[in-house]
Amino acid sequence: MTAPQNPVIVLVRPQLGENIGKAARAMLNFGLTEMRLVTPRDGWPNPSAGPAAAGADVVLDQAQVFGSLAEAVADCANVYATTVRKRGVTKPVVTPEQAASEIRTAPGRSAFVFGPERSGLETEDVALARAILTVPINPQFGSLNLAQAVILCAYEWSKHATLVQPTVEELLPPAPQDELEGLIGHFERMLEAKNYFWPQPRAETNRLTLRNLLTKPGWNRLEVRTFRGILTTLERDKRER
């Protein structure tokens, strides 16, 4: 099975260059690079977009401008109109998570369509879409800014992409069991000298609790060695320091 194409982000009549830049930043955070603009209010390119994009220049440099939404999504088989308001049209309503899942297996190109910052998509815009995309939101305050709306969709799509989680990549593997046993034994020797495992009837329970405590976190080798160094320092006679 071939990998699905990344969805297109379509901004309809965006008003501020800063918001276009922030949307581009949100896109690139999650691996999306194809932005299409429909009659941006202040024209394109917009000098205010670059600083707001914070380095997502590849998105802005490749952005395409169209005269109508119909032209912008002409090559897209799966178009999702993002809105929190009913627009007098009857269409399937999905969440970003559901839309991302559908796009993953649906043939043809897909697009997430976002409306102007102040008023959102018009009924005519929503009518062009195959489905309405919305999120559960506070009914007393349903206002998302443009970049927030884009990042919700981009994030859900990224779950189906091959993006690497940096923090996971940086984690060291757990220490080998023999090194962990060495740490546990080191603790036990020091605690024995201080009569920690007294009275005798509770010694075995205390040893088991100590072992469970030290094995639970999955210490890596560096952490185990650091602990051993701390214990060695603590058990030295003051005269040796």
Q: What's the average model confidence in pLDDT over 53-76? A: 95
Q: Is residue 2 part of a domain?
A: no
Q: What's the average model confidence in pLDDT over 234-241? A: 67
Whether the per-residue pLDDT at 95 is higher than 90: the answer is yes
Q: Is residue 226 part of a domain?
A: yes
130 and 176, same domain (yes or no) = no
- For 81, phi and psi rounded to 5 degrees? -95, 120
Q: Is residue 1 part of a domain?
A: no
User: Nearest Cα to 174, choosing from 183, 187, 164?
Assistant: 183
Check which CATH number belongs to the domain holding 126 and give it: 3.40.1280.10
**What is the number of other CB atoms lying within 10 angstroms of the CB of residue 137?**
11
List CB contacts of 172: < 8 A, sequence separation 6 or more: 220, 221, 222
**What is the number of other CB atoms lying within 10 angstroms of the CB of residue 125?**
23
pLDDT of residue 109: 92
Q: Is residue 187 part of a domain?
A: yes
Number of structural domains in the chain:
2
148 and 175, same domain (yes or no) = no
Residue at a domain's end among 163, 189, 220: 163
Residue at a domain's end among 163, 197, 231: 163
Whether the per-residue pLDDT at 177 is higher than 60: the answer is yes
225 and 154, same domain (yes or no) = no
38 and 120, same domain (yes or no) = yes
133 and 218, same domain (yes or no) = no
**What is the number of other CB atoms lying within 10 angstroms of the CB of residue 110?**
24
Could you list the residue range(s) of the whole structural domain that residue 28 is in? 8-163
DSSP 4-55: PPPPEEEEES---HHHHHHHHHHHHHTT---EEEES-TT-SS-TTHHHHHTT
191 and 159, same domain (yes or no) = no
Residue at a domain's end among 144, 163, 182: 163
Q: Is residue 3 part of a domain?
A: no
Q: Is residue 215 part of a domain?
A: yes
Q: What does the alpha-carbon distance between residue 168 and residue 3 come to, in Å, rounded to a whole number?
A: 23
111 and 39, same domain (yes or no) = yes
116 and 47, same domain (yes or no) = yes
32 and 146, same domain (yes or no) = yes
Whether the per-residue pLDDT at 145 is higher than 50: the answer is yes
Q: Is residue 113 part of a domain?
A: yes
206 and 89, same domain (yes or no) = no
Confidence label for 1 from pLDDT (cuts 50, 70 and 90): very low
Cα 132 to the chain's mean position, in Å?
Answer: 23
Cα→Cα distances 203→84, 189, 191, 231, Å: 62, 13, 11, 21
Q: Is residue 102 part of a domain?
A: yes
Q: What does the alpha-carbon distance between residue 161 and residue 169 come to, in Å, rounded to a whole number?
A: 17
158 and 175, same domain (yes or no) = no
pLDDT of residue 182: 92
148 and 176, same domain (yes or no) = no
Check which CATH number belongs to the domain holding 175 and give it: 1.10.8
Q: Are 82 and 115 in contact (CB under 8 A)?
A: yes
Give residue 158's identity as a one-letter amino acid code.
S
**What is the number of other CB atoms lying within 10 angstroms of the CB of residue 170?**
7
Confidence label for 4 from pLDDT (cuts 50, 70 and 90): low
Query: For 19-33, 82-96, 211-225, which range has the lowest pLDDT when averaged over its residues?
Result: 82-96
Q: What does the alpha-carbon distance between residue 154 and residue 32 come to, in Å, rounded to a whole number?
A: 7
DSSP 98-145: HHHHHHHHSSSEEEEEE--TTT---HHHHHTSSEEE-----TT-----
